[in-house]
Amino acid sequence: MKKINTLIGICVLLIFIGIFIGIFKNTFINIDSESYLTSPKDTPSFNYLHNQVNTTNSVSFDFSGFNGRWSLISFDSSKGTKLTISDNTKITKGEFYIVILNSQYKIIATVQPNKEEISNLIIPKNGQYIIRIVGKNASGKFIIKINSNTNINLYYKDIMGNVSKL
């Protein structure tokens, strides 16, 4: 009888430890970790998203309460293409990153607005590339403009997953 009570106690303890680990993992996301930045899954969530303006080479919008990952711009490019990325994003709250990924979701460049900037980027090989934003309780104004020394087509993916040419 004593062995059964001990076994039940150990099982209950293991269940509580499992629940704690699950809550901890979902509550304390390390958004600047490589595994989070490069996960193929998009998970954008906003309190609000307003004043969106898309042009042939830029995207801007005001936002609040942004959590998750959003691969909002993609493009095909050839090796050696020089991109000029003008990032005028202003973050007023939270954590926020802009990440350039290749088609295998490997990081090409990362920038944290208000702290650093991507100005010139040389594309390392032919393929598709993604500009992703990543945030945790982030608010501010996102403004990015992309120019290149060759003709590239930029595609915008809205938060519902619909893709259109910029």
Q: What are the two backbone dihedrals, phi and then psi, of residue 73, each rounded to the nearest 5 degrees?
A: -130, 135
**The overall pTM is greater than 0.95:** no
**Among 22-26, 125-129, 133-137, which is the least confidently predicted range?**
22-26
Reported as a single tens digit per residue, the pLDDT across 14-68 is 565 656 554 544 444 688 899 999 999 999 999 999 999 999 999 999 999 999 9
Q: Return d(Cα 119, Cα 98) in angstroms, integer.
A: 13
Reported as a single tens digit per residue, the pLDDT across 55-114 is 999 999 999 999 999 999 999 999 999 988 888 999 999 999 999 999 999 999 888 776
Q: What are the two backbone dihedrals, phi and then psi, of residue 98, each rounded to the nearest 5 degrees?
A: -115, 130
Q: Return d(Cα 64, Cα 93) in angstroms, integer.
A: 9
The neighbour count for residue 121, using CB atoms within 10 Å, is 18
